[in-house]
Amino acid sequence: MKEEPRETGYEDILAVAYPFALRHPRMPGAERAAQFSPFAALSGYEEAIGEAARRHLLRDEEKHASPEDYPVPYEE
């Protein structure tokens, strides 16, 4: 069942064209989008996480230096 549109009190101005300012040209969409794009609030965060992961993997490799330390995969 489709609902009938409600009256909002703005029916008389909904079809009126928007009066764009003539003093300033419209900003291109790409430039406008750049204003609202996310920024790097935590600069260097990705590098720090990558370095911590690298050190963690190196530490694990040092713990398991010999092949005997690794579990043998199940073979049938």
Does residue 50 fall inside a structural domain? yes
In-domain check, residue 56:
yes
What is the per-residue DSSP string for 43-69? TTHHHHHHHHHHHHHHHHHHHT-SGGG
Cβ-based neighbours of 20, under 8 Å, separated by 6 or more: 26
On whether residue 51 sits in a domain, the answer given is yes
Domain of residue 49: give its range.
Answer: 41-65
Say if 7 falls within a structural domain. no
The string of pLDDT tens digits covering residues 8-62 is 888 888 888 877 777 878 888 888 887 777 766 778 888 888 899 888 888 877 7
The answer to whether residues 70 and 64 touch, using CB atoms and an 8 Å cutoff, is yes
Number of domain units in the chain: 1
Structure tokens at 76: 């049938």
The answer as to whether 47 is a domain residue is yes
Instruction: Examine residue 60 and state whether it is found in any structural domain, yes or no.
Output: yes
d(CA 73, CA 76) in angstroms, rounded, equals 10
User: Residues 34-47: pLDDT tens digits?
Assistant: 777 776 677 888 88
Model-wide pTM > 0.85? no
